[in-house]
Chains A and B, each alone.
Chain A
């Protein structure tokens, strides 16, 4: 049922901005989004951004939400995407495999452009150390996420475990950060992994998350979301997008859109932003060129 809904959502929930007459005259860009949170909520959050870019540049933006993190790499080619808001790992993966070029990174409301992966458990579970994970159940976000899976692989390698199969009693992938947190809160899993930003956001609005869950490990800082564009993108369009996104924080209308997104602005991004995730991948024993990132 869930899988069917996600597939349907991925097919149906492509949405575009700027009126069709304008889109016909000018360039329309197809930009992919990874399903970090509930896809319906993600649509609501991103709609104003598409509208803003169109009003400011005349470039029509069509967003498409992928059903799964790993899909964004394959879909980038098959759907002929112009760019995508990648997560740290998928961005690095796409840069290595497809040569995409980073453009901007969103700056969080509190000013940060980095994310951390956290491993959490229920306080009453008695689990306090990675060694205690053996034969427990675990929940991850997706195989193609640094914050929602690969950090845990690093921690397991640190205690000599090279394969999650057989180590955990059972494990599953939720597909988004929020579900990972609630799976542990609701005792559907003993151990969870997620991006710290989402955990903290949920903890702020739901007292049970703050009171009943315990973060027992935290990764080094990794790049958060990165907007990358295809390598052969017209430099003029690239520059237009860069200017409008970086300049949003100075424009009152832009500030309103940023507020909707939960960001304070966008900042320019460069390839070296992926260095921490490259290091993390190496530590997790992942060969980025051969890693099977789909489930």
Chain B
């Protein structure tokens, strides 16, 4: 009898341990559709996790950049009983926090000021205070202009925060800033065809990411100087500035593993990303009439001739 009881005990413990291991390795992920930056961070995160702990299983949701889609994605992951949620971008992270998931939430790819708005328990993440003024400075260095068009999406907190900051900076530089609120990617062609601006500044929004080929084609056709905070693997923008996705992914992976081990993200805090990619596509910049910027040549992490 005693022997049977012992066998039963070990069986139950074994089952519990097995269930515990598999549960601890299930992570929900929200990558807003259209953002190559978030995709790249996630790819780096997955690589880092695989190197350190092969047991983690990802359930990935790719919602459209709107409030309902983000919420639905968060609800699906909570219903799937995941052990942690990784959300890329402030908007996705906010949507998860609104659903009170009860599991650790790790964010990454968030713009500095937007990260400060993210508050909640069981929350940690990686952010970057991208120096958006520097990109404007480089743009001014390459071409004189009066009106700057800024593509942003008011639904994406990172992008909206960047636009707000550009409005303030633009005023200080004495230029007109025209906001182009791109809520739906397919609207880009008609908007750009009608807008009267001298130069274009693309903030880090997924709607612009999905419409990026159109934006590049139209600015080239109209010979309009353009700078971008959007990550683009093909580096097509004349000047591109983004946080380094490899650094973001590695830091987020560290936070995620710690949160999974402790079943909590409390106390892990925010990690500031400090590395950036500043790509100067000289070839494309001259094709839209931008002068060579000597400062940019020396500051850029990569120059494409």
Point out residues on A near B: beta carbons under 8 Å.
1-2, 5-6, 38-41, 137, 178-179, 182, 185-188, 206-208, 211
Residues of A within 8 Å of B295, CB to CB, are 38, 178
Residues of B within 8 Å of A182, CB to CB, are 134, 137, 299
Q: Is the interface of B mostly helix, strand, loop or mixed?
A: helix
CB distance from B172 to the nearest CB of A (A): 5
Residues of A within 8 Å of B294, CB to CB, are 38, 40-41
With A2-B299, A182-B299 known, 12 other A-B pairs at CB within 8 A are A1-B300, A2-B298, A5-B298, A38-B295, A40-B298, A179-B299, A182-B137, A185-B134, A187-B131, A188-B131, A208-B133, A208-B169
Residues of A within 8 Å of B102, CB to CB, are none
A207, B173: Cβ atoms under 8 Å? yes
Residues of A within 8 Å of B297, CB to CB, are 5, 40
CB distance from B287 to the nearest CB of A (A): 22
Residues of A within 8 Å of B131, CB to CB, are 185-188
B301 within 8 A of A: yes
B302 within 8 A of A: yes
B274 within 8 A of A: yes
B186 within 8 A of A: no
B288 within 8 A of A: no
Residues of B within 8 Å of A41, CB to CB, are 294
Residues of A within 8 Å of B137, CB to CB, are 182, 206
B302, A208: Cβ atoms under 8 Å? no
- Give the CA-CA distance A211 to B274 in the complex, in Å: 23
**Selected contact of A185 from candidates B133, B302, B303, CB within 8 Å:** B133
Residues of B within 8 Å of A137, CB to CB, are 274
Instruction: Please list 17 pairs of residues, one from A and one from B, whose beta carbons are closer than 8 Å in the complex, sorted by A's number.
Output: A1-B301, A1-B302, A2-B298, A5-B297, A38-B298, A40-B298, A137-B274, A178-B295, A179-B299, A182-B137, A182-B299, A185-B134, A186-B134, A188-B131, A188-B274, A206-B137, A207-B173
**Residue in chain A with minimal CB distance to B296:** A38
CB distance from B281 to the nearest CB of A (A): 14
- Give the CA-CA distance A5 to B301 in the complex, in Å: 11
Residues of B within 8 Å of A178, CB to CB, are 295
- Give the CA-CA distance A179 to B296 in the complex, in Å: 11
- Give the CA-CA distance A185 to B300 in the complex, in Å: 17
B129 within 8 A of A: yes
- Give the CA-CA distance A248 to B175 in the complex, in Å: 40
**Residue in chain B with minimal CB distance to A9:** B298
Residues of B within 8 Å of A38, CB to CB, are 294-295, 298
Q: A38-B294, A41-B294, A211-B172 are in contact. Are A187 and B129 (CB under 8 A)?
A: yes
Q: Give the interface size bracket for B toward A.
A: 10 to 19
CB distance from A243 to the nearest CB of B (A): 34
- Give the CA-CA distance A1 to B278 in the complex, in Å: 12
**Residue in chain A with minimal CB distance to B294:** A40
Residues of B within 8 Å of A207, CB to CB, are 172-173
Residues of B within 8 Å of A185, CB to CB, are 131, 133-134
Q: A182-B134, A185-B131, A188-B274 are in contact. Are A208 and B298 (CB under 8 A)?
A: no
- Identify the interface centre among B169, B295, B302: most chain A CB within 10 Å of its CB: B295
- Give the CA-CA distance A225 to B111 in the complex, in Å: 41
- Give the CA-CA distance A5 to B298 in the complex, in Å: 7
Complex interface bits, B110-134 against A, C-beta within 8 A gives 1, otherwise 0: 0000000000000000000101011
Residues of A within 8 Å of B134, CB to CB, are 182, 185-186
CB distance from B276 to the nearest CB of A (A): 8
B298, A186: Cβ atoms under 8 Å? no
- Give the CA-CA distance A186 to B276 in the complex, in Å: 11
- Give the CA-CA distance A41 to B172 in the complex, in Å: 25
- Give the CA-CA distance A140 to B204 in the complex, in Å: 31
Complex interface bits, B146-176 against A, C-beta within 8 A gives 1, otherwise 0: 0000000000000000000000010011000
Residues of B within 8 Å of A5, CB to CB, are 297-298
**Residue in chain B with minimal CB distance to A208:** B133
Residues of A within 8 Å of B274, CB to CB, are 137, 188
Q: Which 6 residue pairs across A and B have the least CB separation, nearest first?
A: A186-B131, A40-B294, A207-B172, A186-B134, A187-B129, A38-B294
**Residue in chain B with minimal CB distance to A137:** B274
Interface residues of B in 201-229 (CB under 8 A from A): none
- Identify the interface centre among A6, A39, A40: most chain B CB within 10 Å of its CB: A40
**Residue in chain B with minimal CB distance to A206:** B137
- Identify the interface centre among A179, A185, A187, A211: most chain B CB within 10 Å of its CB: A187
- Give the CA-CA distance A179 to B295 in the complex, in Å: 9
- Give the CA-CA distance A178 to B131 in the complex, in Å: 16
CB distance from B270 to the nearest CB of A (A): 15
**Residue in chain B with minimal CB distance to A211:** B172
CB distance from A134 to the nearest CB of B (A): 18
- Give the CA-CA distance A188 to B129 in the complex, in Å: 9
- Give the CA-CA distance A206 to B297 in the complex, in Å: 19
- Give the CA-CA distance A187 to B133 in the complex, in Å: 11
- Give the CA-CA distance A39 to B297 in the complex, in Å: 11
Residues of B within 8 Å of A6, CB to CB, are 298
CB distance from A142 to the nearest CB of B (A): 15
Residues of A within 8 Å of B169, CB to CB, are 208
Residues of B within 8 Å of A179, CB to CB, are 298-299
- Give the CA-CA distance A102 to B133 in the complex, in Å: 41
Residues of B within 8 Å of A186, CB to CB, are 131, 133-134
**Residue in chain B with minimal CB distance to A39:** B298
CB distance from A184 to the nearest CB of B (A): 10
**Residue in chain B with minimal CB distance to A170:** B274
CB distance from B131 to the nearest CB of A (A): 3
